[in-house]
């Protein structure tokens, strides 16, 4: 009696293994890659990790050393907004 139960559980576990995929379809995510030493690659790596490699559409991309603070230092501000496919 114990063997068929264990066998049935093993079959069910094997059958559902491929169905455990987490989908983020349509999810909009915002990434901040501001600061010295960071770049757009930091944002795209995060998007790849959450949506899948290049499995997203870029909604907006703003920044890249465009604003200056009061002391005239350039601020490296970057924001990437994506929607997972």
Q: 30-80 pLDDT, tens per residue? A: 999 998 888 899 999 999 999 999 999 999 999 865 555 555 555 688 999
Question: Which of 45, 47, 71, 67 is CA-nearest to residue 57?
Answer: 47
CA 85/CA 57 separation, integer angstroms: 7
Q: Is pLDDT above 60 for 11?
A: no
CA 33/CA 40 separation, integer angstroms: 7
pLDDT band at 81 (very low <50, low <70, confident <90, very high): very high
Torsion angle, alpha carbons of 14, 50, 24, 22, to 10: 10
Q: Any idea what DSSP says for residue 35? A: S
Residue predicted with more confidence, 75 or 22 = 75
What does the pLDDT read at residue 63?
86
- Tokens representing 59 are 């909604």
């Amino acid at each position: 009696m114990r063997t068929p139960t264990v066998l049935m559980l093993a079959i069910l576990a094997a059958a559902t293994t491929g169905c455990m995929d987490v989908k983020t379809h349509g999810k909009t995510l915002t990434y901040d890659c501001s600061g010295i030493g960071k770049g757009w690659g930091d944002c795209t790596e995060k998007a790849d990790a959450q949506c899948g490699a290049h499995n997203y559409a870029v909604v907006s991309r703003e920044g890249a050393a465009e604003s200056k603070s009061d002391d005239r230092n350039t601020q490296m501000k970057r924001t990437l907004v994506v929607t997972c496919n």
